Structure 1
């Protein structure tokens, strides 16, 4: 766990907590458990995007391309940044978009969930429906994405390393980090 030295103290009751990181790191699973532990609502941004569009993310990528999806993602995340305390899980690419990242950093507490590539490959292989992996070697794609994305994810004020352990261990680490800042 690391704290970005430029960040301000975190108060999860003052606004959203937003989980960012690579696909497969456990943002949705950890987010649900973190929200329950904090007594807050949980929102999965990808599910909200699918509801708003009336189609799956895979369908959006296939029909309209990644740019269309990212625009819808930005609009949905902007709507979720309403100042209400909640835990939000974002898609892996959301924090990479300048406008979306600025919204999150300005209006929420961003937490980067990080994991080694081996853990990510294992987790993404359990589930289909990840457009960026379709027809590709997950290890190669995830390694390339991590090289590009990790320096941007590092802008989040809280960094939590997810390990090959039950997700409750990650939730415990987040809780410790939040408490330590108060």
Structure 2
């Protein structure tokens, strides 16, 4: 959350001349409702079911940069689909950076709490090992210009001979 997935994903897709797809946006479009509403009505498990179905569908497509929600790694099938079907980039951001970037965002159901820093800390402890497990590339995003992050990703992709 707040690592820059949408911003960096869009820029990366432009540089690579690929389509950009945000799985959360596609979920919202298909549901006809925003993610906070889905969480309210179906709970987190209902949302995660929708997310797993969407990642299965989207990760099977070629020619795109796919941004997923931060919790997508919680499900083994998502980790398997992402890792087996593409190159996974972990945009690593500190809890402090995440807090700063999400402070005024009301579209984050997990952070609608009196202590969002505690929630982000707990989420990081749970998710970080999973991000590292599936990532082909890890890039720090704290206090960095998105274009510099994209340049690092492209350099890593070239080094791994994934792109020219």
User: Shared topology, TM-score over 0.5?
Assistant: yes
Aligned match of 1:111: 89
Aligned match of 1:149: 127
Whole-angstrom distance in 2 between the partners of 1:166 and 1:137: 28
Whole-angstrom distance in 1 between the partners of 2:104 and 2:157: 30
Higher RCO structure (Cα 8 Å, ≥6 apart): 1
Tell me which of 39, 56, 69 is aligned to 2:47.
69
Tell me which of 16, 22, 37 is aligned to 1:59.
37
**TM-fit CA distance, 1:42:** 0.1
Return the TM-score normalized by structure 2: 0.94
RMSD: 1.0
**TM-fit CA distance, 1:163:** 2.1
Q: Is the 8 A contact 2:59 2:66 kept in 1?
A: no
Within 5 Å, give how 1:1-182 maps onto structure 2. 23-155=1-133, 156-182=135-161
Structure 1 regions of 5+ residues with no counterpart? Answer: 1-22
Instruction: State the secondary structure of the residue aligned to 1:163.
Output: coil
Whole-angstrom distance in 1 between the partners of 2:30 and 2:44: 16
Aligned match of 1:15: none
Instruction: State the secondary structure of the residue aligned to 2:88.
Output: strand
Structure 2 regions of 5+ residues with no counterpart? Answer: none
Residue-pair matches, total: 160
Runs of 4+ in 1 over 2 A off after TM superposition: none
Return the TM-score normalized by structure 1: 0.85
